[in-house]
Chains A and B, each alone.
Chain A
Amino acid sequence: GAVAGMRPARAEALVPNSWDEITSYNNFYEFGTDKGDPSRKAGALTTDPWSVEIGGLVDRPGRYDLGDILAKVSIEDRLYRLRCVEAWSMVVPWQGFELADLLDMAGVQASAKYVAFETLLRPEEMPGQRGRILDWPYVEGLRLDEAMHPLTIMATGLYGKPLPNQNGAPLRLVVPWKYGFKSIKSVVRITLTNTQPPTSWNRYAPREYGFYANVNPTVDHPRWSQATERRIGGGFFAPRVATLMFNGYGEEVAGLYADMDLAAEF
């Protein structure tokens, strides 16, 4: 509800990618490194029952059942651009609720500065976790003001249907102005901290993946340019398009980074 009247940048021009595109082309290394692995291998993931352990600097720590959470929040449609760090992008019609609502349920203490997230660790259902490509479980983090921002949501659905497993069922973060890897999937733990939490890709290759990971066409990934991106679904003949600062959400979020050197804190 807090974004009522706030129109995400260029929203009128956004055309969502198809269900097939969004659910067949995924990075979810818990199921394998190929883009097709998640849709092929995520079927066995048990997403019900599901709960989220919320802890750290909160007034009401504990295990929050997903059903109880959903009873207390209002689910909204959010049509967002998704820009992958690999320089491709989609437009996704999510359903979800603001992360701020969930954090308010737990009662964030005044000393909290960051929010740490953790993905489910269940190698028997997530075959990629049997390999050591990343340190499992996958972890991500946001600064508290980023987490409380009205554009930041926990998604539960796609195209009006429950979130498919390969897209991070049953509950995933979506932070539309950051590279896709920040939007951690299948979240089971949220911890409020006063120090910057470690994040999986940053731990793996700090030169390549920063903590902030804001979409920024002027700061290249060491292995490729971030100035342009390819829209999924364009086929052979669609040219690359220019990448927008903060993925086009600068009007809403640039203020969060007013005093920062975004080339140094990328």
Chain B
Amino acid sequence: MTGVQRVNIALARLPTWPVYVAGMLPAAWAVWLGATGGLGVEPINALEDRLGLLALQFLIAGLAVTPLRRWTGLNLIRFRRALGLVAMGHLVLHLTVWLVLDLRDWGLVWADIVKRPYITVGMLAFALLLPLAATSSNRAIRSLGPLRWRRLHRLVYLAVPLGGLHFVMQAKGWQVEPLVYLATILGLLALRVGVTRARIAA
């Protein structure tokens, strides 16, 4: 038995709930820091940024699950739902901070969504992820059927790069960090393209 197989067997015995708990800790930590001066002198913006970035990191982790299994044999599929829902949790907080602490006005929120392309793109990404979060239960998988469920969840291939684009567009200038994130996302998607083609051909 290889090392990876042993790890997979050990992982299969673990419960998934700790991923939810540990996954939301960074958000709780960020809110605590923001409230106590640990995010610098402009905490609202800093918290908004940090929650958005954490969401993107969990979405990227979710996208990495399949390529990891394919190229290394490491099987984290059981934890993918938790990664996706934790990402959604951070996104909801990201938007809540924007609405409740930053703009404090539904009218301004709507104006921003309509007028500011980077916000339009970000909201589109969020909207595409909503049906995925809503159909993340076992019951939803059963009622949709695995084929339709899988098709629906391919929306993630559109939503995550839009999230990465949102990060690139909100920065002043072409900053390195957002571009690295976007490139990582596109790279993870590119890893799938060849494989899907091969599968269709076979």
Contact = CB atoms under 8 A, between A and B. Distances in A.
Contact of A33 (B37, B116, B173): B173
A25 B170 CA distance: 19
Contacts of B118: 223
B101 A236 contact: yes
Interface stretch (A61-69, A91-99, A119-127, A224-232): A224-232
B104 A239 contact: yes
Contacts of A220: 115
A120 B118 CA distance: 33
B89 interface: no
Given A204-B173, A239-B104, A36 B42 contact: no
A88 B42 contact: yes
Given A223-B118, A225-B111, A239-B104, A24 B40 contact: yes
Main secondary structure of the interface of B (DSSP, over half): helix
Given A21-B41, A235-B37, 20 more contacts: A17-B41, A24-B41, A25-B41, A35-B40, A86-B172, A88-B45, A131-B176, A133-B174, A204-B173, A222-B116, A223-B169, A230-B42, A230-B44, A230-B102, A235-B43, A236-B34, A236-B35, A236-B44, A239-B104, A240-B103
27 contacts: A17-B41, A20-B41, A24-B41, A25-B40, A25-B41, A29-B173, A33-B172, A35-B40, A88-B45, A133-B173, A133-B174, A133-B175, A134-B173, A222-B116, A223-B116, A223-B117, A223-B170, A225-B108, A225-B112, A230-B44, A232-B41, A233-B41, A235-B43, A236-B43, A236-B44, A240-B102, A240-B103
Interface of B: 34-35, 37, 40-45, 101-104, 108, 111-112, 115-118, 169-176
